[in-house]
Amino acid sequence: MLTTDNELYAAVIDGERQRVVLKLGRNWGWNPGTGWTIAATGERCAVWTQPLPLY
């Protein structure tokens, strides 16, 4: 979990090839920072992705 305040819930999920951040809530100004690509948006939600390094 990244944050749970001010009507905002954000969590990061690691997959096999990429990392995903899910944001739910009204805080439209929040984002996970640099290096993330917006994948989807909707009413009070957003999803960003970031590739994981290959080993």
How far is it, in rounded angstroms, from Cα 26 to Cα 8? 6
C-alpha closest to that of 49 among 24, 23, 11, 20: 20
Q: Is the pLDDT of residue 5 over 80?
A: no
Please check whether residue 21 lies inside any domain of the structure.
yes
Question: pLDDT digits over 22-54, tens only?
Answer: 999 987 788 999 999 999 999 999 999 999 887
Residue range(s) defining the domain that contains residue 14? 8-51
Question: pLDDT digits over 13-23, tens only?
Answer: 999 899 999 99
pLDDT at 41: 94
Please check whether residue 44 lies inside any domain of the structure.
yes
| Both structure tokens of 32 | 């996970």
Its pTM stands at 0.84
Please check whether residue 2 lies inside any domain of the structure.
no
The total domain count for the chain is: 1
Please check whether residue 32 lies inside any domain of the structure.
yes
Please check whether residue 1 lies inside any domain of the structure.
no
Please check whether residue 3 lies inside any domain of the structure.
no
